[in-house]
């Protein structure tokens, strides 16, 4: 059960974007598993992708097509990652693009493919081909919620968010959807996230806005420490509103809304982490620099002992202390380190805080949402990472994933 997370009730349509979803039978039966997103001519697109060396065939093809010009379609399938599939996988990804392009009378480079699901199995392109006529004819501006459901794999809740932003020359809309629950330790974005706006923004500033938003959201979450082969986060600006960013104040307003939307989607992924029962913020302050703060935060967030203590609601603070100590910081003064569970200080002056009581720690650990705050006493840098606990269900879900 997702932690404090419900499916979005509505998602705002974005002028210049149409979506369609259908059940192609790629792996799942009786549910939609194929999505097509169509964009108005002139739409600008930006993307960030996984840095995993075994990146999936659709990632390679999407990068190529994005660099080749101005794509008009995104094709997304769930149930099969088309990763670890060699030359055949690349051929299948390219054929899928060509099939969509043929429906629209465009070149294959006008289509970006995205896949998520089981690694190492051939993609059922014939199933995609059979589904495409209905998919293409069903394109609608109101297809966001259905698309959010269709891209799910082990997710229990569809993930989506919308914002309206008042700029100097009018109001623009942003809407995004994402999927992900396991194999989450993004090295650029998340497993899959798709965001669109009707604002008019050129590609270069759009890429900068996306990268900054990703760095503060999807690049700050982890469920299990595993970086996917298929990570992709896309941002499209259709320009259909006719409203552009006129000045630095407009840019700041738009960036604030985009960053908030991305954080909401990223948090939704952690809240829906496989088997998760806790949503945990790890905040590290007084670090010498950002890499140092993140090194400590991720060491704590990835510790199986910390994560299982969180699941048990056990205030075993020694596990947090040990994780900080093994995070690789040179010349760490342990006497300067202070650690809190929410408002309860547990560590000071190299050991347990004298006023700490076990019942106070237990009170915090019993909550669904917990803040672990660590002050290093080394500088001014501060970072946050969001994670979840590690439960019996995480093992069960992943043990049974292909059965």
Read off the pLDDT band of 51 (50, 70, 90): confident
Average confidence score pLDDT of the chain: 94
pLDDT value at residue 288 = 97
pTM: 0.95
pLDDT the model gives residue 403: 67
Note the pLDDT tens digit of each residue in 228-275: 788 899 999 999 999 999 999 999 999 999 999 999 999 999 999 888
Asked if 227 is an active-site residue, the reply is no
Helix axes 317-325, 290-302, angle to 10 degrees: 140
How do the domains of the chain map onto residue ranges?
Answer: 17-271, 279-399
With a pLDDT cut of 70, the percent of the chain lying above it is 98
Determine which one of 190, 229, 238, 277 is catalytic: 190
The architecture of the domain spanning 17-271 is 4-Layer Sandwich (3.60)
Q: Which CATH number does the domain 279-399 belong to among 3.40.50.620, 3.90.180.10, 3.10.20.340, 2.60.120.10?
A: 3.10.20.340
- Across the range 281-302, mean pLDDT stands at 97
**253/165 Cα distance (integer angstroms):** 7
User: Which tens digits make up the pLDDT trace of 304-349?
Assistant: 999 999 999 999 999 999 999 999 999 999 999 999 999 999 999 9
């Amino acid at each position: 059960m997702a932690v404090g997370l419900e499916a979005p009730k509505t998602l705002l349509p974005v002028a210049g974007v149409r979506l369609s979803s259908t059940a192609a039978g790629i792996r799942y039966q009786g549910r939609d598993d194929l999505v097509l997103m169509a964009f108005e001519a002139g739409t600008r697109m930006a993307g960030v992708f996984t840095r995993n060396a075994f990146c999936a065939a659709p990632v390679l093809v999407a990068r190529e097509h994005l660099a080749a010009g101005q794509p008009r379609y995104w094709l997304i399938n769930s149930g099969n990652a088309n990763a670890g599939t060699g030359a055949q996988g690349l051929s299948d990804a390219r054929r899928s693009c060509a099939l969509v392009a043929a429906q629209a009378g465009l070149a294959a480079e006008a289509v970006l493919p995205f896949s998520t699901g089981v690694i190492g199995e051939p993609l059922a392109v014939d199933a995609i081909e059979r589904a495409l006529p209905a998919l293409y004819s069903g394109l609608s501006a109101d297809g966001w919620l259905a698309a959010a459901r269709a891209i799910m794999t082990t997710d229990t809740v569809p993930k989506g968010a919308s914002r309206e932003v008042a700029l100097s020359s009018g109001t623009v809309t942003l809407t995004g959807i994402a999927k992900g629950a396991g194999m989450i330790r993004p090295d650029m974005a998340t497993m899959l996230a798709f965001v669109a706006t009707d604002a008019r923004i050129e590609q270069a500033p759009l890429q900068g806005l996306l990268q900054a938003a990703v760095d503060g959201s999807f690049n700050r979450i982890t469920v299990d420490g595993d970086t996917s082969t298929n990570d992709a986060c896309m941002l499209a600006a259709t320009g259909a509103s006719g409203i552009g960013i006129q000045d630095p104040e407009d840019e700041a307003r738009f960036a604030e809304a985009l960053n908030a939307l991305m954080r909401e989607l990223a948090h939704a992924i952690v809240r829906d982490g496989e088997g998760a029962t806790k949503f945990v913020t790890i905040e590290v302050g007084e670090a010498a620099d950002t890499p140092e703060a993140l090194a400590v935060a991720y060491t704590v967030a990835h510790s199986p002992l910390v994560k299982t203590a969180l699941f048990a609601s056990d205030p075993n603070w020694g596990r947090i202390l040990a994780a900080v100590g093994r995070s690789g910081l040179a010349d760490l003064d342990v006497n300067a380190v202070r650690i809190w569970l929410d408002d309860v200080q547990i560590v000071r002056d190299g050991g347990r805080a004298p006023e700490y009581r076990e019942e106070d720690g237990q009170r915090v650990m019993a909550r669904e949402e917990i803040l672990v705050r660590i002050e290093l006493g080394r500088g001014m840098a501060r970072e946050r990472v969001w994670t979840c606990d590690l439960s019996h269900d995480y093992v069960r879900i992943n043990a049974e994933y292909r059965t």
